[in-house]
Amino acid sequence: MTVARDLRGGPGYRALRAVVRGLLRLGWGLRVSGLSRLPPPPYVLAPNHGSEIDAIVLSASLPFKPTVLAARDLDRFPVLFRLIWWFDPVFVRRGGLADVSSIRACIARLQRGDVLAIFPEGRVVQETALGPFHPGAAFVALRAGTPLVPVALLGLERMWPLGARWPRASRITVRIGDPLAPQPAEDADGFTARLKEAIAVLREKS
């Protein structure tokens, strides 16, 4: 049973979010569009994955506290890991929802009324606009009976290239698309294909 939850986060979280959001606006011109398209919780946000700090940027861009998925091996970056830990993520093996326990944890978060952010590429992709999408996000949304919301993150691959120790100059944008509902008899692969197309369209908007 899904129950209504207060997703604003505690005072410490809200203060941290305000600081991070301010830094992103001041240093990298953060712009966010499409917040009015978000449906009532619970649902799954599905962004493309252009950098190791996508979860931080996404969380700072939203007026509530989402539950993000984070790779367990990010502990090799102590400062980044500690910052992500403050956002109360579901930690998974790199590559996305590769184990049953991770899927169950995600569904449990949705059943309690959370907004869950899952990166369908399962890894940071910087060599091309979008990498192959895994069906995990769609599968979780289907199993939990929630909408899937496409999100385009732009400029993050230039802000934090793989291997970089510090952020670089870039303009970053978060674009939120219309929620997607599964079509009759649609499986996770079909749902994923529509998600990828929706994110591609968001990325192309001027």
Q: Is the pLDDT of residue 49 over 80?
A: yes
Give the type of residue at 64.
Answer: F
Where residue 1 falls among pLDDT bands split at 50, 70, 90?
very low
Taking residues 63-72, report their average pLDDT.
84
pLDDT for 94: 58
How far is Cα 206 from Cα 198, in angstroms, rounded to an integer? Answer: 15
pLDDT for 101: 80
Q: Collapse the DSSP code of 161 into the 3-class scheme (helix H, G, I; strand E, B; otherwise coil) and give the result.
A: coil
Q: Which domain holds residue 156?
A: 11-204
Pairing of the two strands 148-154 and 115-117: unpaired
Least confident residue range of 53-57, 82-86, 160-164 = 82-86
Token readout for 112 is: 């309690």
CATH number assigned to the domain comprising residue 47: 3.40.1130.10
Q: What percent of the chain has pLDDT over 70?
A: 89
Other C-beta atoms closer than 10 Å to the C-beta of 134 total 20
Where residue 153 falls among pLDDT bands split at 50, 70, 90?
very high
How far is Cα 190 from Cα 180, in angstroms, rounded to an integer? Answer: 12
Q: Is residue 162 part of a domain?
A: yes
Preceding peptide of 63 cis, ω within 30°: no
How far is Cα 7 from Cα 174, in angstroms, rounded to an integer? Answer: 20
Q: Is residue 6 part of a domain?
A: no
Q: Is residue 104 part of a domain?
A: yes
pLDDT tens across 165-198, in order? Answer: 899 999 999 999 999 998 889 999 999 999 999 9
Taking residues 57-82, report their average pLDDT.
81
Mean pLDDT computed over every residue of the chain: 88
Where residue 155 falls among pLDDT bands split at 50, 70, 90?
very high
pLDDT for 180: 98
Taking residues 133-143, report their average pLDDT.
93
Q: Collapse the DSSP code of 121 into the 3-class scheme (helix H, G, I; strand E, B; otherwise coil) and give the result.
A: coil
pLDDT for 58: 95
pLDDT tens across 91-130, in order? Answer: 776 555 567 788 888 999 999 999 999 999 988 888 888 9
Cβ-based neighbours of 14, under 8 Å, separated by 6 or more: 8
Where residue 3 falls among pLDDT bands split at 50, 70, 90?
very low
pLDDT for 132: 93
Q: How many angstroms separate the Cα of 66 from the Cα of each of 13, 153, 188, 205?
A: 11, 16, 22, 25
Q: Is residue 197 part of a domain?
A: yes
E strand intervals along 50-163? 67-71, 90-92, 115-117, 148-154
Instruction: Yes or no: say if 134 and 97 are a contact pair by the CB < 8 Å rule.
Output: yes
Number of domains forming the structure of the chain: 1
Spell 62-79 as b/e; 16+ CB within 10 A means b.
bebbbbbbbbeebeeeee
Q: Is residue 3 part of a domain?
A: no
